[in-house]
Amino acid sequence: MRMKKTLMVVLILTLVMGTLLTGCAQDTPTPVEPEGFSAPIVIGTLNGPTGMGMVALMDQKEKYDITAYQAPDEIAGKIITGELDMACLPSNMASVLYNKTEGAVVVVSVNTLGVLYIVENGTQTVASVEDLAGKTLYGSGKGAGPEFILQELLDAAGVTDVNIQWMANHSDAASSCMANEGSLALLPEPFVTVVGSKNEAIHVAIDLNASWAEVTGVDLPMGVIIAQKSFVEERGDDMAVFLADYRKSVDFVNTSQDAGQAIADWGFIEDPIVAQKAIPNSNIVLYEEDFGATKTMLEAYFQVLFKMDPASLGGSMPDDNFYY
């Protein structure tokens, strides 16, 4: 009799423990895989303002594979071969690639407004484009955006007698300006801040972005981010995450006192103090929620470039399918 009672207790306990264990198993949540992309987004940037807005993304290796290049042509080749999913590059280069690839890329957003400035070494004698009449100006970018932008502003001001000494690169123009008191130079950021840090007599005389806005009614869109059309179609969800992350990075660069150090750490500008000073005039932006703004700015800019030299856009104005 005692044996039967013992067996009964054992059976009851076994049933109770089984029920408890089953309940625990049912209440335990199924492990959720961590969020992430099927593969990192491969992005090429330029080593300057066009890429500086991405510094807060560059250590997120599980999501973004970002490389900074020295020349737009390096990026263009990798877009054509499909090695890059996305790229930051000059606006007109985006149009060239759109035409060359027969519509295989789309522009996602303007990411850099005007970064061109007229700087003067010494006592200020120039404050407007009209004041350039009769002056000698060092510059680089002949046959490209800098020349066409300056020429449009000179034409609008009715100035025809500026002696522009075109040099091989921005460094040569900057060096010539630093070496000659009273001289003027057409320079982009961060060269403007770099030469100003080396020679206190050099100052910004004209902000060409502001001058462009006065003439055209819109800001000057010098840099954009583009994407492979196939990437946008196949990885739209990843694209949405990227734009949200990119917005955070742009805000970090424009508002944080730590941004200069991050820009230096990633090799965009060597000196973090100079990098921090260069940020305000680098005009780093993102229009992830207002794609119409990107289209309006680019169309105005492209019309000027097409008038000057259709080849600067790849032979034709991009159509509506160019815009994301």
Interval 138-156: pLDDT, tens: 999 999 999 999 999 999 9
Query: Are the C-beta atoms of residues 302 and 309 closer than 8 Å to each other?
Result: no
With a cut of 60, say whether residue 19 has pLDDT above it: no
Choice between 238 and 35, residue whose per-residue pLDDT is larger: 238
Which tens digits make up the pLDDT trace of 242-257? 999 999 999 999 999 9
Which tens digits make up the pLDDT trace of 28-46? 444 433 456 889 999 999 9
Tokens of 108: 């996602």
Query: Are the C-beta atoms of residues 65 and 40 closer than 8 Å to each other?
Result: yes
CATH, domain range 116-216: 3.40.190.10
Query: Are the C-beta atoms of residues 198 and 172 closer than 8 Å to each other?
Result: no
Residue 91 CA to residue 105 CA, distance in Å, equals 13
Work out the pLDDT band at 289, boundaries 50, 70, 90: confident
Which among 44, 47, 43, 196 has a CA at the least distance from the CA of 120?
196
Residues in the chain: 324
Domains 41-113+221-322 and 116-216 belong to one CATH topology: yes
Residue 251 CA to residue 219 CA, distance in Å, equals 19
For the residues 5-31, what does the mean pLDDT come to? 42
For 240, the 3-state DSSP assignment is helix
What DSSP designation does 221 have? -
Which tens digits make up the pLDDT trace of 117-130? 999 999 999 999 99
Domain extents for the chain? 41-113+221-322, 116-216
Query: Are the C-beta atoms of residues 186 and 46 closer than 8 Å to each other?
Result: no
**b/e code 245-258 from CB counts within 10 Å (16+ = b):** bbbebbebbbeeee
Residue 244 CA to residue 49 CA, distance in Å, equals 20
Query: Are the C-beta atoms of residues 184 and 208 closer than 8 Å to each other?
Result: no
Amino acid at 68: A
Work out the pLDDT band at 23, boundaries 50, 70, 90: very low
- Asked: is 41-113+221-322 a CATH 3.40.190.10 domain? The reply is yes
